[in-house]
Amino acid sequence: MQDQINTLIEAIKTDYDRWSDRRPNDGYGDIKDKMVLEFNEGLTVKAGKKYIKIMSNSSVWGFVVNVDNDKQFRKGDLLKAASWAAPARNFARGNILDGGYNVQWTGS
């Protein structure tokens, strides 16, 4: 599971870098590099009882189901954040164990 979390984090970083490259440079390359570095360093992972919370600086990027006995979801399912402490439990946005999920730096 840790390898898949690391892969997810790298995919989030890659998407942010790709997004920031689409913006006009206009001589602000140093600022862009600083923003990318701050974003990358701000990505953190916190494991709880049922979910692994992925945080981006002061916001929650999303949650990953970390139990085998959830009534609605499978272990590894990506869930959008409903609040700081809870995921949206309407449907999974993919599964990190299965692969093939879509990642955007703005959230799951």
Taking only the tens place, the pLDDT of each residue in 48-85 is: 999 999 999 999 999 999 999 999 999 999 999 999 99
Give the pLDDT of residue 33. 87
Residue 11 in any domain: the answer is: yes
Residue 52 in any domain: the answer is: yes
Residue 103 in any domain: the answer is: no
Q: Which domain holds residue 62?
A: 2-79
User: What is the value of pTM for the model shown?
Assistant: 0.91
Residue 101 in any domain: the answer is: no
Residue 98 in any domain: the answer is: no
Residue 53 in any domain: the answer is: yes
Residue 105 in any domain: the answer is: no
For residues 94-104, average pLDDT = 93
Residue 63 in any domain: the answer is: yes
How many structural domains comprise the chain?
Answer: 1
Q: Are 39 and 13 in contact (CB under 8 A)?
A: yes
Q: Are 80 and 74 in contact (CB under 8 A)?
A: no
